[in-house]
Structures are given as C-alpha cells and as structure tokens.
Structure 1
Amino acid sequence: MNFFIKLQDKISEFKLQINYMKKFPKIVFIGSTHFSLFPLKELYMKQYNIVGIITSPDNPLHKKGESFSPVKKYALENNIPFLQPVNLLDDSFLKNLKAWNADIQIVVSFKILPQKVWNLPKMGSFNLHASILPQYRGAAPINWVIINGEKRTGLTTFFIEEKIDSGKIIFQKEIEIGKEETAGELENKLKKMSGSMIIKTLEKIMKNQIKLIDQKNINSFKYAPKISTKDCRIQWNDPSIESIYNKIRGLSPHPAAWTLLFFNKKKFVRFKIFIVKKILKKHSIPIGLIFISSYEMQISVKEGFISVVEGQIEGKKRMNIKDLINGIKINKNLFVL
C-alpha cells in the first residue's frame, strides 16, 4: 500500500514539473562555445522549456581534437534536439527550425544570424554580448577592453536587429576589471554571470517588464574586431609600458601575444608570452634586450622592463619562467623583435 502511495506522489510531482515547464515559452538556444554552455546549463537546470538547440557543424580538423562543439555535447548528454546548419538560409534547416515553433530564441556566442532566422519567433530573438554596449561591438570584446586599458566592462542582452550588436538593449550588468586580470580570467568571471543574466532577461520579457534602451541615442562607442595573428605581435618600441602590459594580458591565454626571440645560431623563433609583470625604471638600454638570471627574464622597454612570468617557445609547451630559462640554457646575447 505504501508503495502505491509513494508512486502516486511521484507521479503527481512529475505532473507538477511538466505543468511548471509548460508555463514557460518554447525556447530555441543558439550557441557553440564554452561561453555559450554556461547559460544553456542554467536554463536546462532550472527546467526552462528548451525545444531545440542550434550549434555549429562538426569540425574533424579541430586543433584540440574535439570534432564538435561543447553545446552539441551537452545536447547529446541531455537528449535535447539540435541542428547543425552549414548554411543558415538552407530550406531544409529553416523548415526544421520552424517546426520547433519557438516563442523566443536566445543567442550566445554564435555567428551572424540572417533575418529569416532571428525574426522567426513571435517574442523575438535576444543576444548576450560580453561588453557594455554600445561599447565594444564586435567579435572580441573581452580581449579589447583589457588591451585598451578599460577599468570596467560587463554583459548586455539586446534584441537582435539587422545591424550587428546594435539592437535595443534589454538588460546590462557592469563589473570591474582587475589591474592584473587576463582576458582568460575576465572571461571566466563573465561566464559565471551569464546564466543569471539570461534568466533575468527572459523573466523580464515574460513579465513585460522591459524598458528598452535604443543604442542610437548613445553617441560614443568602440569596436572590438576579430583579432588577427598580426595584431598579437608585441611592439616593444611602444613608448608606454602600460600599453605593452595591457596587450599581453588582453591576449592571454588566447590567441596569445607573441614576439620573435633571437635564440641560437642566428635563429629567430616565435615566443608567446602569457603572464608578465611591469617594472617602471629609467634606463638607457636599447629596447628589446633580454636580461636573464636563474629565475627571471626581463625585456627592456622605453619606460622600464617587462618581466616574463609564463611563456612558450615555439615547439615547446607553456612554462613558468624558471623552467623556460633552464630549457633554453642561454643567458646572454638574447633579444626580441
């Protein structure tokens, strides 16, 4: 008898959960990166009604050996339907997307959507962007805020419109950037905020509590374009040590700032630099010379020295400076270009 009572209780509890989920709008989640994964997990764990996921196609040539996105992996683990369109305007893809009959689409870290996709749900499509828009529109806001020496950044949700990152703002949250913080550390901080940002935005939309801010009414803005390999090269003759320091931490750990290191037998190798300290000091030493002790590598710049804490010489793994110095077994006639 007790068994049947417990079973009925479980069935009732399950029905309540089903009804609870049904009060939420039908959501299509669109994303591909590890950053996307955080808000997706938050939505799923809080039992929002995710009817499907759009993520990037598999890439068997991916450098880390992962042929598909972390978002696809999560969809497979939790039996969530997903689509991986090569072409977002493909008729077959659009037909399958329409069949989900989503009320709203949530986009986090994905490529540009055509109007036929973002304009489909009746409640619209909103995007999460890793900056305080309209500042740092573009592909690499986390890197550029640090490279440019900003003191604050944050997250913005906005309704998607035709122009990239220019739609009406729904919700924003600001945070401080640490003086020594790298792009990787800042990204982790923003990831942890992203889930609650998505939930708050969704709740505001559902309750019709949004007060949209038109970006056209905000005059000043900066761009955050995609970073090329050329952008990552360190300019040691930069007159500002702060600028060099910000560039290195703004590109760490990915895509990583680099320089050419005069290594051995008149050979230059690529040298990635991840973590540094800045030493302000007047001197008359030529720029780019390297001074090595048993535990330290200092590179001369106009306003002092950049002390390397972690780096990676081409063909070797990332190391702390002590191991790196032991590995090169050279302590003089070294310089960078």
Structure 2
Amino acid sequence: MEKLRIVFMGTPDFAVGILDTIYNSQFEIAAVITAPDKPAGRGQKVSVSAVKTYALEKNLPILQPTNLKNEEFLAELASYNANLQIVVAFRMLPEVVWKMPKLGTFNLHASLLPNYRGAAPINWAIINGETETGVTTFFIDDKIDTGAMILNKKIAIDSNENVGQLHDKLMHLGSETVIETLELIEKGNVTTTIQTENSELKTAYKLNKDNCKIDWTKSGIEIYNQIRGLCPYPAAWTYIKDGENEWNVKIYDSKYIEEAHTYSIGTIISGKKEMKIAVANGFIQIESLQFPGKNKMQIHELLNGTQISSEAFVK
C-alpha cells in the first residue's frame, strides 16, 4: 500500500465540498491549484475562487497559474512531490501536468459518463428531463471527460428539484465517491472501464445567453425543465412586453399546469397574487422572478407594486 500525497485542482463551490471531505479524511493534501484572482462586478473588485478561500482557511499551499505550461509553475508543482492529482471543476490540463504524478490524475465529473461530458452536466440533466444522474471518477487523458472510468454512482432526480438542490446532492455523492476512489488507488485495487462512444451521447454544452433564453413554443414540460435546470444560476430568461414597455426578465421558480385553453402562446394572465404564461398544452405559473436592476422577487411581491395589463406577453 502506497501512502497518497495529493495535489487538488478546482475552482467553484462544488469543488470545495470535495476538498473538504478529503481534508477531513486520512489523506494528505500537499497543495491546491485554483483559478487566478480576477476583478468582478461593477466595481471590478478582486474576486477569489471558492477553493482559494477554503485553502486559505486551512493554510494549504495554493498555486494560481495563468499558464499551465509555464516552466516556473511546473517546477513548483513538481516540488510538492505528489504521487496523485485530483481535478474537480477546474480546466483542461496539458499532458505535462496530468502525467506528472506517479499514480496519475483523476477527475470527478458530475454525470454518468460517457453522457454529459462538458461544462454544465448538472444543468443539462435537468433541462433534458432526466430521471437519474450521478458522478464518475476517471483518469484524465488528452481529451475532455473521455478517460478510463474508475467508479460511478447513480442518484435519482426528483421531478420538481432545481439545479441548486441537485448540485448539493451530487456534491455529497461526489465526496463519497472520491474517498472510495482514493482508497482503491492507495490499495492498488483500481480497475478501469473504457468509455464507449456512440452517436447518441448527450453533451453538457457550456451555458450562454442563447441557450438560457426560453423558447415559449416548446412544450410546457420542456419549458418547466429548462427553468428548474437553470435555477438558481444562471437563470432562464425571457422578454416581457407590455404596451410600450419591454423588460429582460429572469425566471427562477415556476410550476407547470397541464390544462387545455384558448390563449395564444406567450400570453400573460395575471391577477393580484398570480401570474401564469400560456404554453401549447397548459400554463407556466411563475413563482419568483427578477426584473432588470431589481432583486429577485416572489410573484406576489411584484404584483403588489407592478400592474401587468391583459395585453402583456412574453417573447
């Protein structure tokens, strides 16, 4: 049995959950690699990654390279004498980095590979209406999320849960799976499975303004899945048009009501405490949303101070 000495690479909150579990286990973390600090927001205040914040609290050595092939960085990384590297929500590594440790570099990905390779697997599993997902550990190779799989664990997706809730469930499942993977590697008991390739694999495309915009001509359940698959971040959005006014609005929480009606698709029906939008086979009832320059509001808060006319519609 070979004692593990680990370099951990990651950036967002999801990675912090995994890092914390490793830190509180018997395994040794030699150093942490995360994204460089960067200015963010209107004031361009310097923002640090969630992983860096955690590593500072635990007094773990931190590396923040801008160029992963930089010779100074590579020399510093080598100086930690790690025999294993773990990657969770970081970025693509050059071969010189992932091949450095004796026992290799493995990644935790929040999907059941080979499906949902890519940047946003948790979001797309919900957007596409999946009823289960999971996590996979695999050894990194020269492509994105294609390496030999070590372990995968499944979890059910509740029909009403949003991506924030599923994120937290997968973080806990991922923590357990990483520890199991570390135990297998430490004992020399790893067996891997090569990923199969076929034309029907689903991809976790990077989220952008275009694929977060709601297409109201889709079925009610597709729209509902998109809204919950993007809540709380980055949020589905649409334009609300009411007379001369037009707003770019983010929609967070909603319900889908399957019901026959005679309204035109996109028509907004609102009362004192309720707003719903007509879709092909029912209504999307809006529970919370955000207007430009405003905070997120429950729908009754909005309707308490804003009147939506009977001519309003989404587009």
Task: Tell me the TM-score range normalised by the shorter chain.
Answer: over 0.9
Please list the CA deviations of residues 38-94 of structure 1 after superposition, one character each: whole Å capped at 9, or x if unmatched: 111111112421111110000122579561111111211111111000000111100
The CA distance in 2 between the partners of 1:147 and 1:107, in whole Å, is 25
| Residue 333 (str. 1) matches residue 311 (str. 2) | yes
Question: Could you say which residue in structure 2 is the equivalent of 1:9?
Answer: none
Tell which structure's C-alpha radius of gyration is larger: 1
Question: Could you say which residue in structure 2 is the equivalent of 1:278?
Answer: 256
For the aligned residue pairs, the C-alpha RMSD in angstroms reads 1.7
The CA distance in 2 between the partners of 1:315 and 1:142, in whole Å, is 28
Q: Name stretches of at least 5 consecutive residues in structure 2 with no aligned partner.
A: none
Question: Could you say which residue in structure 1 is the equivalent of 2:291?
Answer: 313
> Does the 8 Å contact 1:293/1:331 carry over to 2?
no
| Residue 28 (str. 1) matches residue 17 (str. 2) | no
SS in 1 for 2:247: strand
Structure 2 counterparts to residues 135-214 of structure 1, below 5 A: 135-214=115-194
> Does the 8 Å contact 1:75/1:81 carry over to 2?
yes
2:62 maps to amino acid: F
Please list the CA deviations of residues 110-168 of structure 1 after superposition, one character each: whole Å capped at 9, or x if unmatched: 01111110010000000000000001000000011111111100000000001110000
Displacement of 1:330 = 3.1
Question: Could you say which residue in structure 2 is the equivalent of 1:106?
Answer: 86
Alignment CA distance shift 1:23-1:79 (3 Å): farther
The share of aligned pairs that are identical, in percent, is 45
Question: Could you say which residue in structure 1 is the equivalent of 2:100?
Answer: 120
1:126 maps to amino acid: F
The CA distance in 1 between the partners of 2:56 and 2:237, in whole Å, is 38
1:328 maps to amino acid: T
Question: Could you say which residue in structure 2 is the equivalent of 1:11?
Answer: none
Displacement of 1:329 = 2.7
Displacement of 1:107 = 0.4
| Residue 130 (str. 1) matches residue 113 (str. 2) | no
> Does the 8 Å contact 1:288/1:299 carry over to 2?
yes
Runs (4+) of structure 1 moved beyond 4 Å?
Answer: 62-66, 217-220
1:226 maps to amino acid: K
Displacement of 1:217 = 6.5
The CA distance in 1 between the partners of 2:24 and 2:155, in whole Å, is 25
Q: Name stretches of at least 5 consecutive residues in structure 1 with no aligned partner.
A: 1-21
Alignment CA distance shift 1:129-1:213 (3 Å): same
The CA distance in 1 between the partners of 2:147 and 2:171, in whole Å, is 22
Please list the CA deviations of residues 285-335 of structure 1 after superposition, one character each: whole Å capped at 9, or x if unmatched: 111111111111010111011100111111111111100111323343211
The CA distance in 2 between the partners of 1:123 and 1:232, in whole Å, is 40
Structure 2 counterparts to residues 83-102 of structure 1, below 5 A: 83-102=63-82
Aligned residue-pair number: 314
> Does the 8 Å contact 2:2/2:187 carry over to 1?
no
Please list the CA deviations of residues 160-185 of structure 1 after superposition, one character each: whole Å capped at 9, or x if unmatched: 00111000000000000000111111
Question: Could you say which residue in structure 2 is the equivalent of 1:16?
Answer: none
Displacement of 1:226 = 0.2
SS in 2 for 1:175: strand
Normalization by structure 2: what TM-score? 0.96
1:100 maps to amino acid: Y
> Does the 8 Å contact 1:132/1:174 carry over to 2?
yes
The CA distance in 2 between the partners of 1:171 and 1:218, in whole Å, is 21
> Does the 8 Å contact 2:231/2:252 carry over to 1?
yes
Alignment CA distance shift 1:137-1:217 (3 Å): closer
| Residue 249 (str. 1) matches residue 223 (str. 2) | no
Which of structures 1 and 2 has the larger relative contact order (alpha carbons within 8 angstroms, sep 6+)? Answer: 2
1:298 maps to amino acid: K
Question: Could you say which residue in structure 1 is the equivalent of 2:196?
Answer: 216
> Does the 8 Å contact 1:33/1:70 carry over to 2?
yes
| Residue 293 (str. 1) matches residue 266 (str. 2) | no
